Structure 1
Amino acid sequence: MASSSSSSSDIGVILNELTCPVCFELYKEPVGLPCGHSFCRLCLEKSWENREADAGYVCPNCREVFPQKPKLMKNMIIANLIENVKLKKGKFGLEVRDTEHGDVNVKEGMKSGGSECYCELCNGEAAKSCVPCEIICCAKHLKPHQQRGHKLVDPGVKIEDLRCIEHGKPIQPYCKDDGSLMCVTCTGGQHRDHDVVALEIAHAELKDVLAAKYPHVSQSMESVASQLRHVQEEEAQAENSSRNAEDSLEEKRRLVCQLVNESVDLMKSEINKRKMEKLSLLGKQREKLEQQMEDLRQGKSTMDAAFQDLEAISFLHVWFIINGSKDLLKRLETMSDFKSMKRTPLPVLDFSKEEKNLDELITLNKNFLEKIQKGPVEHPEKVELDQNNLRRLYGRSPSLDPNSAHREIKISGDLRTATRTRPGIQYPEHPDRFDVCPQVVSRDCFSSGRHYWEVDVRSSSSWEIGICLNSMGRKGAESGLGGNPESWCLEKYNNEFSAWHNKQRTDLSVPGDHERFGFFLDCEAGELTCFGDSRVLHVFRGNFMDPVKPAIWVWDDDDSVHFVHLVK
């Protein structure tokens, strides 16, 4: 039984050797190439027909190129072996396929970079590319390359990129010293004494390095995401605040317009009322004068008629007429005694008082607009450096960031007090945590506007207080406040005060024992003003448009420094 199984296995090996590597069938008219590889004549010729004319004649197996078409001679040994196998095919119960070839459609695979890849030996879908043989194969034609242990890559990979530029051989080792890929020949040249490992080992080591750095990158992403959320929240607050302010101003404009309209309408109504009263009085005077004018006109007409009659008669006749016309004389006497009526002039319409009130309202609005054009009403360009005003206008209450605290800095529950403690606290690892300097920064990050905060130092004899760029390093001694270009601070040490920036010290005269120190940050002006007991102690100047954070260093054990809660 075992012998039969062994014989079957041997026959299987023989059949594999008698199989054309192109069609995977028993050779049909086997022919050999100078390189030693054999193929069916039809398979080989079809393979060459599908290649470009200037590509030469290539062995489908080893990819050796023959400039001239080789003379194809029938391999009689292989042909005789195949005939013998066919005669004995039933001896071990084996089924040997012997189908006719017919037309073999050998399609050249597309080079890397194309939209599709095909097996270079058949029309099947490409599975892998063999680097040593530089051939694209389907899963069926890939087996011989797998059995020989050839390096296989995805069909889309450029095989020429996987060869040594200098020697043209497949890339296998990796030089750690130079960080470069190379072939076996390179190891005997300039890389002779270098640390060279297999490409697979370098790949595994790189994965380990990336896996070790992944948590750090994830934590950094969380930190940046947190800061991004704060910025987005501030943006949303700014949008809401601006929208609410605009709505309030629109309401005030509506009220002001309504007030102006009502005032103007009221004044117009009063003007019209006074006009009607004066016109009524003037109309009565006009009617009375017109009646008097009519009476005088009639009297004059009567007198003219009487004069004409007197001219036509004698004096005696006139006398009789006069005595007989007493009514006429009396009437003429009355007319001769007519006097002009006394007319009291009405006062001129005067609205100067109302116009003055309206002018005052217009002037008030003009002054208000001029103030707005010069600068925000609540945020003048030049701020009087009075701490009471600074608290009211720009007061802030920073909170400490536990993720930045050194292991010897304990943070209070309200996130406002930093206390030096030893042997220390086992904080979790974090990229923002100081590892050498006993410091902590705030969660608050400023990059625009004006901000004022105060620090209570009654419980600390030595400290450093100031600001640092959010980008300042957190590792090593160089991360200490004032000891680098990214930080600015006041320092109290051995009862001496000084200002520090980029390792440059400025001695300060600070009389008395102050309990609080104030800090006013004007980002646009690029100034950090430090106060002590309502006095300006020092002014730092720098680029504070980059995000900065308030920061604290506590020197002595059990000492505490506290951010004061400022209520506007």
Structure 2
Amino acid sequence: MSSVTQFAEVLARFEPSPAGEVSIQPCSTLFSHPKEMASSSSSSSSSSSSSDIGVILNELTCPVCFELYKEPICLPCGHSFCRVCLETSWEKREADAGCVCPNCREVFPQKPKLKKNVIVANLVENMKLKKGKFGLGVEVQDAEHGDVNVKEGMKSGGSESYCELCNGEAAKRCVPCEILCCEKHLKPHQQKGHKLVDPRVKIEELRCVEHGKPILLYCKDDGSLMCVTCRGGQHWDHDVVGVEIAHAELKDVLAAKYPHVSQSMESVASQLRQVQKEEEKTENSSRDAEDSLEEKRRLVCQFGNESVDLMKSEINKRKMEKLSLLGKQREKLEQQMEDLRQGKSTMDTALQDLESISFLQGSKDLLKRLETMSDFKSVKRTPLPVLDFSKEEKNLDGLIMLNKNFLEKIQKRQVEHPEKVELDQNNLRRLYGRSPSLDPNSAHRRIKISRDLRTATRTRTDNQYRKHPDRFDCWTQVVSCDCFSSGRHYWEVDVRSSSWWDIGICLNSMGRKGEDSCLGANPESWCLWKHNNKFSADHNDRCTSLSVPRDHERFGFFLDCEAGELTCFGDSRVLHVFRGNFTDPVKPAIGVWDHGGSVHFVHLLI
């Protein structure tokens, strides 16, 4: 029976009762599965009518907006949609993706002519009239998508955070269909076995950048994701597996490493607690020592102040005594000076008197006065004590010299102490630790740089790098972004994943092109070198063999620019010390020579 005929028969059953009411089952029974409808053919007429109209409502509902069709159109594949829903769905897709049926996903290279489906439109209008006439509810259920109610008038979503078929929040992204789905639109894709990912994952991230096809394979040699087309290109001789297999294998590798990492975390946590306790102890000890020194400073200052004040008081006392004696002598001498001045004045007057009688009349008194003056004797000055404090000053000089010697000893100890600290790698990490990052612009085309810019991996094929004047073109090497020209710096390199490498530093001005750019083979680079478990220290094409008792996992490098030294460590043991002019800008450098080998700058917790 056709949908039109069935629809007509169903409408015929809905005649109003005398009370103007129609007996209809709840909306949950309107959209029963067709098999359930067949099995319930013997039910009451009211139940059968509800099931029949449920089927018709389902046929007249747009699969995009879950509403009755509004201006329905039909695609060449046979599926119908609201004109607005279909055009909105196409507008949200990229222009070069073609026109796709939202239901069956058939692609139409050219946009088909959209013509109104007159029959379906008429059925929808009649259904709306019947709904108004019989008081049917305005809610429609979708049996295909899990009997979820969708309100009439719902607008389709337009944001990438929402379902592309409704306004619901997107729960997953269907990779084959390239569509965001909410929970209610997700079930058909789950039933078809489509791959579903987090809605935040973008489709372009799941496609090959070069060919635009889905990423299905993983190259173990290069550690890169690729599509089927890439397999026949530069990866034809590589070890390639499916992404699911690679995912499972990597998870197994991580699971195997997990206990080691957990144990390492416990060990590091224990050491961290010890360091924290030592730091706290050091803080308390330093605070106590400073308090004690402050008290000694107070006592020393108090002793110095009291000594100086006492000496100044004694000086002032002796000064006053001597000044008193000198004052008395001065007063006596001044009185004698006045008497002599008066006698001299009398003699001057007598000598100037030319009258004999007058001169003789006063001569008696004059001679008597002269006799008195002739008895004048010099004042006897008693020697006064000298203000001598040389002894006290000598004692103070001795105290000053003692303090000076004490300060010199402290300064000498401060100079010697850092030299001892520098030889301890734990203190080097704490005081001068650095975590260099690699410069992708300097990496040779067969050196792949990790996303965190700390790991350099040797690949068999060229990586897609842009041309750059700093890029090595002959040797598989890379330098750090960090550049040092002063101060002290310490970093570590993990070499567990490589058996053939060279690690060290080079002048920033070292050439990057040609054979002369090899680390250790020119006067502008210094490095440790390893191959076949043999080690050497290389500089200016001169190699110094090193005795390394076992294969180390890490090597440390301590650069003292002012001292002109690069100290190389292996398990807390000094392997070699390079000397040169490191006040010119230098950069940490790495060379990896074995295929698939990796060298990693360790992230030091500063």
TM-score by length of 1: 0.52
- Counterpart of 1:213 (choices 228, 246, 257) is 257
- Over 3 Å counting, the alpha-carbon distance change for 1:375 and 1:229 in structure 2 is same
Is 1:266 equivalent to 2:316 in the alignment? Answer: no
- Counterparts of 1:123 and 1:30, CA distance in 2: 21
In structure 2, the residue matched to 1:161 is 205
- Counterpart of 2:156 (choices 81, 92, 106) is 106
- Counterpart of 2:111 (choices 62, 65, 69) is 69
* Cα deviation code 1:85-124 (max 9, x no counterpart): 99999xxxx999789x9977334443xxxxxx23323333
- Over 3 Å counting, the alpha-carbon distance change for 1:146 and 1:546 in structure 2 is closer
In structure 2, the residue matched to 1:389 is none
In structure 1, the residue matched to 2:391 is 353
- Equivalent pair of 2:219/2:238 in contact (CA under 8 Å): no
- Equivalent pair of 1:86/1:96 in contact (CA under 8 Å): no
- Counterparts of 1:329 and 1:87, CA distance in 2: 169
Matched AA of 2:329 = Q
In structure 2, the residue matched to 1:502 is 548
* Cα deviation code 1:9-67 (max 9, x no counterpart): 99678875664321334656654323443324454345456767777544223444545
Instruction: Give the deviation of 1:270 after TM superposition.
Output: 1.8
- Over 3 Å counting, the alpha-carbon distance change for 1:348 and 1:10 in structure 2 is same
- Equivalent pair of 2:157/2:166 in contact (CA under 8 Å): yes
* Cα deviation code 1:243-298 (max 9, x no counterpart): 44443333333333332222222222222222211111112222222333344455
In structure 1, the residue matched to 2:279 is 235
Is 1:21 equivalent to 2:59 in the alignment? Answer: no
- Counterparts of 2:98 and 2:419, CA distance in 1: 84
- Counterpart of 1:150 (choices 179, 194, 215) is 194
* Cα deviation code 1:366-387 (max 9, x no counterpart): 333344444449x68999xxxx
SS at match of 1:39: strand
In structure 2, the residue matched to 1:489 is none
- Equivalent pair of 1:50/1:107 in contact (CA under 8 Å): no
- Counterpart of 1:37 (choices 54, 72, 79) is 79
- Over 3 Å counting, the alpha-carbon distance change for 1:78 and 1:210 in structure 2 is farther
Instruction: Give the deviation of 1:220 after TM superposition.
Output: 0.7
- Equivalent pair of 1:30/1:40 in contact (CA under 8 Å): yes
SS at match of 2:173: strand
Matched AA of 2:377 = K
- Counterparts of 1:249 and 1:503, CA distance in 2: 48
Instruction: Give the deviation of 1:128 after TM superposition.
Output: 2.5
- Over 3 Å counting, the alpha-carbon distance change for 1:366 and 1:42 in structure 2 is closer
- Equivalent pair of 1:109/1:136 in contact (CA under 8 Å): no
Is 1:225 equivalent to 2:263 in the alignment? Answer: no
Matched AA of 1:33 = L
Q: Report matched runs for 1:402-481 at 5 Å.
A: 447=427
Matched AA of 1:24 = F
SS at match of 2:313: helix
- Equivalent pair of 2:319/2:387 in contact (CA under 8 Å): yes
Indicate the RMSD between aligned Cα atoms, in angstroms: 5.9
SS at match of 1:313: helix
Instruction: Give the deviation of 1:182 after TM superposition.
Output: 6.6
- Counterparts of 2:243 and 2:338, CA distance in 1: 136
In structure 1, the residue matched to 2:185 is 141
- Counterparts of 2:373 and 2:66, CA distance in 1: 153
SS at match of 1:70: coil
- Over 3 Å counting, the alpha-carbon distance change for 1:268 and 1:32 in structure 2 is same
In structure 2, the residue matched to 1:293 is 337
In structure 1, the residue matched to 2:12 is none
SS at match of 2:305: helix
Matched length: 398
- Equivalent pair of 1:31/1:41 in contact (CA under 8 Å): yes
- Equivalent pair of 2:172/2:182 in contact (CA under 8 Å): yes
Instruction: Give the deviation of 1:144 after TM superposition.
Output: 3.3
- Counterparts of 1:358 and 1:207, CA distance in 2: 78
SS at match of 2:382: coil
- Counterparts of 2:137 and 2:350, CA distance in 1: 169
Gaps of 5+ in 1: 111-116, 384-393, 395-443, 450-468, 474-483, 487-499, 505-522, 527-541, 550-568
- Counterparts of 2:207 and 2:295, CA distance in 1: 75
- Counterparts of 2:72 and 2:207, CA distance in 1: 33
- Counterparts of 1:202 and 1:96, CA distance in 2: 51
- Equivalent pair of 1:108/1:121 in contact (CA under 8 Å): no
SS at match of 2:357: coil
Matched AA of 1:341 = V
- Over 3 Å counting, the alpha-carbon distance change for 1:242 and 1:194 in structure 2 is closer
- Counterparts of 1:314 and 1:39, CA distance in 2: 165
Gaps of 5+ in 2: 1-34, 42-47, 142-150, 430-491, 497-532, 536-545, 551-556, 561-566, 575-606
- Equivalent pair of 2:138/2:152 in contact (CA under 8 Å): no
In structure 2, the residue matched to 1:60 is 102
- Counterparts of 2:322 and 2:138, CA distance in 1: 133
SS at match of 2:156: coil
- Counterparts of 2:389 and 2:238, CA distance in 1: 107
SS at match of 1:156: coil
- Over 3 Å counting, the alpha-carbon distance change for 1:547 and 1:35 in structure 2 is farther
Question: Bigger shift: 268-277 or 167-176?
Answer: 167-176
- Counterparts of 1:217 and 1:133, CA distance in 2: 40
SS at match of 2:170: coil
Q: Report matched runs for 1:84-99 at 5 Å.
A: none
- Over 3 Å counting, the alpha-carbon distance change for 1:296 and 1:195 in structure 2 is closer
In structure 2, the residue matched to 1:128 is 172
- Structure of larger gyration radius: 1
- Equivalent pair of 2:218/2:246 in contact (CA under 8 Å): yes
TM-score by length of 2: 0.49
- Counterparts of 1:77 and 1:546, CA distance in 2: 85
In structure 2, the residue matched to 1:417 is none
SS at match of 1:132: coil
SS at match of 1:247: helix
Is 1:276 equivalent to 2:320 in the alignment? Answer: yes
- Name the % identity: 74
Matched AA of 1:260 = G
In structure 2, the residue matched to 1:313 is 357
- Over 3 Å counting, the alpha-carbon distance change for 1:381 and 1:367 in structure 2 is farther
- Counterparts of 1:40 and 1:380, CA distance in 2: 84
- Over 3 Å counting, the alpha-carbon distance change for 1:51 and 1:215 in structure 2 is closer
- Counterparts of 1:342 and 1:28, CA distance in 2: 142
* Cα deviation code 1:525-559 (max 9, x no counterpart): x9xxxxxxxxxxxxxxx85697579xxxxxxxxxx
Q: Report matched runs for 1:479-490 at 5 Å.
A: none
- Counterpart of 1:337 (choices 353, 365, 375) is 375
- Counterparts of 1:544 and 1:178, CA distance in 2: 31
In structure 2, the residue matched to 1:414 is none
Question: Bigger shift: 64-73 or 276-285?
Answer: 64-73
- Equivalent pair of 2:71/2:82 in contact (CA under 8 Å): yes
- Counterparts of 2:570 and 2:256, CA distance in 1: 35
